[in-house]
Copies of this chain bind each other. A is one copy, B any other.
Amino acid sequence: MTEYSGGGDPRRSLELLWGVRERPKRGPKPRLTAEEIVRTAIALADAEGLDALSMRRIADELGVSPMSIYTYVPGKAELIDVMLDRAFGELTPPGDGTWRARLEHIARDEWALFHRHPWLLQITTVRPPMGPNTLGKYEYELRAVDGLGLTDVEMDSVVALVTGFAESAARVSVNAAEAERRSGMSDEQWWESVAPVLGTLVNEADYPLGTRVGTAAGQEYSAAVAPGRAFEFGLARVLDGIEVLINSR
C-alpha cells in the first residue's frame, strides 16, 4: 500500500502540522498528545517499517485502545503527513561553500535521512504536507542555487533534480538492505541460489555484455557498498551536468 500525503482535510492537517490546536477547556485530562503519537509512530516505522505501522500497534505501544488515537489525530493519512514533516526537521541547511558543495551537502544529507527513516521512501510527496520543516527545506534548497544567474524556474528544476536523484539512489540502497533483511540472504547468496537454475535455462552467449559487465560489477563492488558507489558516481555526473548549465549563463 503506497501512502499518499496530503490526503486529509487541509484545515485539520495544517493545524496538526503547525501545532496550533488550542487545548480543550472541559472533559477528562487527555492522557496523550499528538506529538507523543507522532514520536511513537516514527519510532515504530523506523524499527519495523511502514507496513508494520498500524493504528492498533501505535495504541498498543502507548497503552491505550486503538480508537483513542483518533482523539488526537484525524486519521492515518494525516498522521503520516506529520511524520514526514517532523523527519524533514532533521535536515540541516548547507553552509557557505561553493554552489557545488552546497548541493552536495543537500544530497548527502537527504541520502542519510532516507537511511535513518526508510519509510519516507514509501510516501508520495507530490502534494507535500505544508509544515514548517517542509517549507524550510524548500527555502534553503533554493538559497543554495540563488545568485548563479539561473531563472526562478531553473532554480526550482535544479533543486528538484538533485533531491530527486538523492531519493532515487537512496531507494536502491534501502531496498537492497530490506531485501537482505527479509530474505535472510546476502546478494551473493541470492545470486548463488539463482545462477545454477538460470544456467540450465539460458545460453550465456545470448547475453555477452550482460554476462561480462554483470560479473565485473559484481566483483568490483560487494553488494554492501554498491549502492554507496552508485550514489557517488551519479551525484558527480548530475553536478557536472548542472555545471554545464551554469557555465552557459
A156 touches B234 (CB 8 A): no
With contacts A127-B187, A164-B172, A176-B126 taken as known, whether A152 is within 8 angstroms of B198 at the C-beta atoms is no
With contacts A233-B157, A245-B237 taken as known, whether A6 is within 8 angstroms of B190 at the C-beta atoms is yes
Q: Cβ of A202: which chain B residues have Cβ within 8 Å of it?
A: 18, 130, 135
Question: What separation, in Å, do the CA atoms of A151 and B221 have in the docked complex?
Answer: 14
Q: Cβ of A1: which chain B residues have Cβ within 8 Å of it?
A: 1, 51
A201 touches B244 (CB 8 A): no
Task: Count copies of this chain in the complex.
Answer: 2
With contacts A122-B2, A138-B210 taken as known, whether A130 is within 8 angstroms of B245 at the C-beta atoms is no
| Residues on A facing B (Cβ under 8 Å) | 1-2, 4, 6-7, 10-11, 14, 18, 20, 51, 122, 124, 126-127, 130, 135-136, 138-139, 142-143, 146, 151-153, 155-158, 160-161, 164-165, 167-169, 172, 175-176, 178-179, 182-183, 187, 190, 193-194, 197-198, 201-202, 206-210, 212-214, 216-217, 220-221, 229-230, 233-234, 236-242, 244-245
